[in-house]
Amino acid sequence: MAQIFPKWSNKITKALLWTTLVTVCSITFVFWYWFSPWNLEVGYEPVQPVPYSHKIHAGMLGMDCRYCHTGVDKSAVAGVPPTQVCMNCHSTIKADSLNLVVVQESWKTNQSIPWVRVHKIPDFAYFDHSAHISVGVGCVSCHGHIEQMTEVRLEKPLSMGWCLECHRNPAPHLRPLDKITDMNFKTDLAWEKVAKAKAATLHPPVESCSGCHR
């Protein structure tokens, strides 16, 4: 049978197929990447199931962060407190408040409160709170002034560039270990010297990709 198309046209068809495939894949990736829940923008402030306020509890009442986020200096995750912790006080304080109905309900039914996650990095990157807390990086460096927020808001981009910026020069973020949760810690010349010396002994991963991508 006579060839309708010359031989080289086979190559073109193949190339066309490949281009289409690659384009489709790229578009899928871009959509998947940008609309994945981890790619949150600074300022993200979801409505929570309970009008719980850090401004009241951590700010006005001066509660330490670790009263509720008990995992933060011991493990990778800080953890959000179980309803039991709220009931330590709210079984009596404002027990009949409408703002606490969901908390009381959760306590009665033993179903945890469906808090909406605000800070999240993708699974292919590794983060550990205790590794940071134990060397003296304070909460405020990475979360902003939580104690002034009525609703938690994302203050930092949590991007790779943001991680590396501090890893290249952590000294300004270091503080005494008993000031980790002090949201208003101020450095002075004497501390800056100590922090610089301490930073020189630390080795946060920068070039080593496997430090964060394990």
| Listed ranges 3-11, 24-32, 79-87, 188-196: which one lies at the site for ligand HEC (CB under 6 A) | 79-87
Taking the complex as a whole, how short is the minimal distance between the CB of residue 35 and ligand HEC, in angstroms?
Answer: 13
User: Residue 104: how many CB atoms within 10 A of its CB?
Assistant: 17
Amino acid at 202: L
Rank residues 22 and 202 by Cβ distance to ligand HEC and give the closer one: 202
Site residues for ligand HEC, 164-203, by CB under 6 A, read 164, 166-167, 170, 173, 180-181, 183, 202-203
Smallest gap from Cβ 190 to ligand HEC, in A, equals 20
Q: Please give the single-letter amino acid code of residue 57.
A: H
Instruction: State the minimum distance, in angstroms, from the CB of residue 15 to ligand HEC.
Output: 27
Q: Lay out the site mask for ligand HEC across 46-65 (x = CB under 6 A, - = otherwise).
A: --x-xxx-x-xxx--x-x-x
Please choose, from the candidates 46, 49, 149, 151, the residue with its C-alpha nearest in 3D space to the C-alpha of residue 101.
49
Asked whether the CA dihedral 18, 20, 24, 30 is positive or negative, the reply is positive
* Distance in angstroms (rounded) separating the CA atoms of residues 75 and 77: 6
Residues 4-43 that bind ligand HEC (CB under 6 A): 38
Specify the DSSP class assigned to residue 59: I
